[in-house]
Amino acid sequence: MSVLAVVCALLVVLPLILVLFYLLKMGVSSLNWNFFTKLPEPAGVDGGGMANAIVGTLELMGLALVMGVPIGLLGGIYLSEYGSEKTNTWIRFGADVLNGVPSIVWGLIGFTLVVAPMGGYSAFAGGLVLACIMVPLVLRTTEEVLVLVPTSYREAGMALGIPRWKITFNIVLRTAAKGIVTGVLLALGRIAGETAPLLFTALGTTLWNTSLKDPIAALPLQIYNYAISPYPDQNRQAWAGALVLILMVFLLSASVRIVSSRRKK
């Protein structure tokens, strides 16, 4: 019986080991200076790189951060500081339901609300869609850490006659800062690898993006396109791109560890 449980645990670990092994094996050999600095070559031409996709992914993450985090954060503050139990239950429930919406569907939403009215695929649409995915994630984690801040801290602030909103900003948020940053980083890690919502919003391009109104390349999109491509050189670059993407994601989760394990002075 114990043996069976051990076997289960090993089988759960095995895919991670295999996927990391192959990413290193297939990806490392294609990582070179060109990969990080060059634009993609046309299909069939060997060489080129994913510079625009790497920058594009960072840009999309930045856009999502700017649009999604304030809303998620303020929403979380509402739940912990102002909301009544009844409304809170509904908002939490709604956030959980939104978390379960398949990511491809967000692509349809972005297409209808931004791409169709604006008349074209755009970086803005991609960022907005990723922000929509972030909002419920950040809201839930923010609330969870804010309710852990002792009520006596707030009372101390009240006793000094500090306005409520200043108490929230300077005392409650500061006390919970570590937890909030952790939540935001986790949400960023989740959206960094999202591909499906970008298919009909950011679209991808082989050029540099210069305007929010133009399509933008993203690492996951480029990996997808190169993976299903018939050209071996593009398949090879897909592995390299995947290696870079997973390093980005792991770097984010490592920074979560660092943030959450750092002791408060």
Partner 1 sequence: MSKATTQALPLSAADLPAPNRLGNRVFEGLTLVSAAMIGVLFLLVVWVLVSGARMAMGVYGWSFLTNMHWNPVTDNYGALPFIYGTVVTSAIALLIAVPLSVGTAIYLTDLAPVWQRQPLTSVIEMLAAVPSVIWGLWGLFVLTPWLDAYPYTWLNKHFGSIPLFGAPFSASCLMSAGVIVAIMILPIVTSVSREILRSVPDLQREAAYGLGATRWEVTRIAVLSYARRGLMGAAVLGLGRALGETMAVTMVVGNSPKIPASLLQPGWTLASVIANQFGEASTDIQRSVLFEIGLVLVGVTILVNIGALILIKSIETPGSRRA
Residues numbered 51 to 90 that lie near partner 1 (CB under 8 A) are: 70-75, 77-84, 87, 90
Beta strands in the chain (DSSP E): none
Q: Establish how many alpha carbons lie within 13 A of residue 240's alpha carbon, considering only the half-sphere containing its beta carbon.
A: 23
- Scanning 18-26, 35-43, 177-185, 205-213 for contacts with partner 1 by CB under 8 A, the matching segment is 18-26
State the Cα angle at 53 between 47 and 56, rounded to 5°.
155
Please give the residues from 122 up to 151 whose contact with partner 1 meets the rule CB under 8 A: 132, 135-136, 139, 147, 151
Q: Is 100 in the site for partner 1 (CB under 8 A)?
A: yes
Q: How far apart are the first and last CA of the chain?
A: 47
Size of the chain in residues: 265
Told to check if 258 binds partner 1 by CB under 8 A, we report no
Judged by CB, which is closer to partner 1: 145, or 172? 172
Q: Which of 158, 177, 207, 258 binds partner 1 (CB under 8 A)?
A: 158
Task: Write down the least CB distance from residue 77 to partner 1, Å.
Answer: 5
CB 29 within 8 A of CB 99: no
What is the gyration radius of the CA atoms in the chain, in angstroms?
22
Residue entry with tokens 């006793």: 159
Candidates 46, 94, 148, 156: give the one binding partner 1 (CB under 8 A): 94
Distance from C-alpha of 189 to C-alpha of 37, rounded to nearest angstrom: 24
64 and 191 Cβ atoms separated by less than 8 Å: yes
Q: In the bound complex, what is the minimum distance in angstroms from residue 204's beta carbon to partner 1?
A: 10
- Could you say whether residue 120 binds partner 1 (CB under 8 A)? no
Instruction: Tell me which residues in 169-228 interact with partner 1 (CB under 8 A).
Output: 172, 189, 192-196, 199-200, 203, 220, 223-224, 227-228
